[in-house]
Amino acid sequence: MVANASVNQGAGVIVTSLSIALKAGIPDDQIIFIGPGGAAHEDENPLHRADFASSPSAQVSIRRTLSLNGLLAKDIDHFELYSCFPSVPKMARRILGLPANAAMTVVGGLTFGGGPIGNYMTHAAACMVDTLRLSGTHGLIFANGGYGTHNHTILFTRQPQKTGTFPQDFDYQSEAEDLRGSVPVTLEVYSGPAKIETYTVFYDRMGAVRHGIVIARTPSGQRTVAKVMSEDMECISALTSGSAEPVGRTGSIRRDGDINIWHST
């Protein structure tokens, strides 16, 4: 479910002009070109986002890269969708319109091939070059960092690029801002009814529940955060059993000292 941090990694990438590559004796069928790409970002604070089920910056990064290269998702032969947590490749897959069983990595995924802040995307670049040298024409790499925060996409291709393609301004933040919905006000202190917007449960190294966290909306649409106590196994089970989707379920929050406590209804 998450990245494997205990992996030693090393990779190198050499990028040069076509003329130098040819002078170095690189065969035509081994030359891979870099196409233009796009980048955009979310707010560093996850609570300052309009919702938790989509990413305008990921959408702009991926779609802008495709449009800059005159391609559609169906034209891409190979993908590398950054995968430190399942939510990121799922969002990217949906933006691209790929089926759930589509091949989304040429490296193998971060659950097997490396940890966060561990040079994984350099491996993605190297593996994409190797893959395209064997088959296909276009390879798309989507990179992500932070809490689904930083989004970068680029194309690797066997098709030569037009003179003047680079240097390229890859910052498309303004487009992402135009797509962004309004961000709700966050209440640090709240008591009363609420509806789950998203949630998670934390465990210790032995697999025991430490506590849960619910991010919820008040009836007036404000956002708040509440803790689910480890001893409240009814609530913990409701969040983790998989018998029903917790998002959208109602509950209540009471104030206990300096924290908000969540209770299911």
The answer on pLDDT for 25 being more than 90 is yes
Q: Are 28 and 126 part of one and the same domain?
A: yes
- Per residue in 56-101, pLDDT (tens digit) is 999 999 999 999 999 999 999 999 999 888 899 999 999 999 999 9
pLDDT of residue 11: 83
CATH number, domain of 51, equals 3.40.47.10
Name the average pLDDT for the chain.
93
Q: Are 164 and 208 part of one and the same domain?
A: no
pLDDT of residue 251: 96
The answer on pLDDT for 254 being more than 70 is yes
**241 in a domain, yes or no?**
yes
**168 in a domain, yes or no?**
yes
**6 in a domain, yes or no?**
no
**25 in a domain, yes or no?**
yes
The answer on pLDDT for 5 being more than 80 is no
Q: Are 228 and 168 part of one and the same domain?
A: no
pLDDT band of residue 262 (cuts 50, 70, 90) is very high
pLDDT of residue 85: 84
Q: Are 171 and 200 part of one and the same domain?
A: no
**5 in a domain, yes or no?**
no
pLDDT band of residue 34 (cuts 50, 70, 90) is very high
Enclosing domain of residue 200: 186-264
pLDDT of residue 3: 79
Q: Are 165 and 210 part of one and the same domain?
A: no
Q: Are 34 and 127 part of one and the same domain?
A: yes
Q: Which of 8, 46, 72, 31 is nearest to 150 (CA)?
A: 46
Helices 56-68 + 87-96 axis angle, to 10: 50
- Per residue in 191-238, pLDDT (tens digit) is 999 999 999 999 999 999 999 999 999 999 999 999 999 999 999 999
Q: Are 169 and 193 part of one and the same domain?
A: no
Q: Where does residue 94 rank: exposed (0-12), middle (13-18), buried (19+ CB within 10 A)?
A: middle
Q: Are 224 and 166 part of one and the same domain?
A: no
State the total domains in the chain: 2
The residue from 179, 214, 235 where one domain ends is 179
Tell how far CA 241 is from the center of its chain.
25
Q: How far apart are CA 222 and CA 190, in angstroms?
A: 10
pLDDT band of residue 1 (cuts 50, 70, 90) is confident
Q: Where does residue 213 rank: exposed (0-12), middle (13-18), buried (19+ CB within 10 A)?
A: middle
The residue from 157, 179, 201 where one domain ends is 179
The residue from 162, 179, 196 where one domain ends is 179
**11 in a domain, yes or no?**
no
